[in-house]
């Protein structure tokens, strides 16, 4: 079942967010440390705070994910509290585990969601089974990295279908975000497979929208309109046309 939410933008660039938000086609934004540094956020905490608040305000009340920058449990908790205090629509991204594995991260997820009323997006997951455990821990969002799964030679759609079926069977309210988009087709195929949300890089939205044959068709309409309405009448105001 799930409840389709729609497309999130996977970016830290306010101008891209503004552009697609104005079209009414996005439902949230996700960032991570790699995205923020690539998108020009330099200057430490002050810069991260400014950019995060700017995006959060731009899309409010839609959600923004901001990821912790450390791997130590206490520091993660502190950062999570700080991000959540920056804006009411910020949720905290916590990786499923650290670079050496380990189980502490899910405990943090559980504490934030159940004891501190902070929404969490569990990230960097490559399988349905990881996402299931994150959902069990209480995560609001579970993020599967579809493009990275495909790059390892597995079909991300199979993991999404499995996860959808499992979360539905358990009656879990966790929302499935599929990210790591690599091609336009990913957006539709991951929704069809059962994602609630696909978070995409902005560069894929324009080719999703613009079709060469639509361009040609609109050009045909415009050329034929020119035959219908003589140039001297083209500027006529609707009120005059009615008379």
Determine, following the binding rule CB under 6 A, whether residue 148 of this chain makes contact with ligand E4P: yes
φ, ψ for residue 72 (rounded to 5)? -90, 130
Could you give the maximum distance between any two Cα atoms of the chain, in Å? 77
Look up 93 and say whether it is catalytic: yes
Looking at the DSSP bridge assignments, the partners of residue 120 are 92
Could you tell me the smallest distance in angstroms from the CB atom of residue 144 to ligand E4P?
9
d(CA 204, CA 96): 27
Using CB under 6 A as the binding rule, whether residue 63 contacts ligand E4P is answered as: no
Shortest Å, Cβ 35 to ligand E4P: 6
Binding map of ligand E4P across residues 182-221, x = CB under 6 A, - = no contact: -----------------x----------------------
Contact call for residue 179 and ligand E4P (CB under 6 A): yes
For residue 180, what are the β-bridge partners? none
Cα separation, 101 vs 108, in Å, equals: 15
Which of 39, 147, 150, 208 touches ligand E4P (CB under 6 A)? 147
**Catalytic hit among 19, 93, 215, 227:** 93
Please name the residue that has the structure tokens 């901001």.
66
Tell me: does residue 20 bind ligand E4P (CB under 6 A): no
Min. distance of Cβ 30 from ligand E4P in angstroms?
4
Give residue number: closest CB to ligand E4P. 179
Q: To which H or E segment does residue 243 belong? A: none
Secondary structure letter of residue 190 according to DSSP: H
């Amino acid at each position: 079942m799930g409840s389709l939410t729609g497309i999130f933008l996977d970016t830290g660039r306010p101008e891209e967010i503004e552009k697609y938000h104005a079209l009414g086609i996005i439902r949230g934004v996700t960032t991570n440390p790699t995205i923020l540094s690539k998108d020009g956020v330099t200057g430490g905490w002050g810069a991260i705070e400014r950019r995060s608040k700017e995006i959060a305000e731009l899309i409010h009340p839609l959600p923004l994910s901001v990821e912790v920058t450390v791997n130590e449990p206490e520091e993660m908790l502190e950062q999570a509290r700080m991000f959540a205090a920056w804006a009411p629509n910020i949720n905290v991204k916590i990786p499923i585990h650290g670079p050496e594995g380990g189980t502490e991260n899910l405990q943090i997820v559980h504490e934030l969601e159940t004891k501190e009323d902070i929404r969490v997006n569990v990230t960097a997951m490559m399988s349905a089974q990881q996402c299931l455990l994150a959902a069990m821990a209480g995560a609001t969002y579970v993020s599967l990295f579809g493009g990275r799964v495909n790059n390892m030679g597995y079909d991300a759609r199979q993991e999404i279908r499995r996860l959808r079926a499992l979360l539905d069977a358990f009656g879990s309210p966790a929302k499935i975000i599929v990210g790591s988009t690599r091609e336009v087709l990913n957006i539709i195929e991951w929704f069809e497979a059962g994602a609630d949300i696909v978070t995409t890089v902005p560069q894929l939205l324009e080719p999703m929208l613009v079709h060469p044959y639509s361009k040609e068709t609109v050009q045909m309409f415009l050329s034929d309109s020119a035959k219908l309405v003589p140039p001297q009448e083209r500027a006529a105001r609707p009120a005059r046309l009615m008379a």
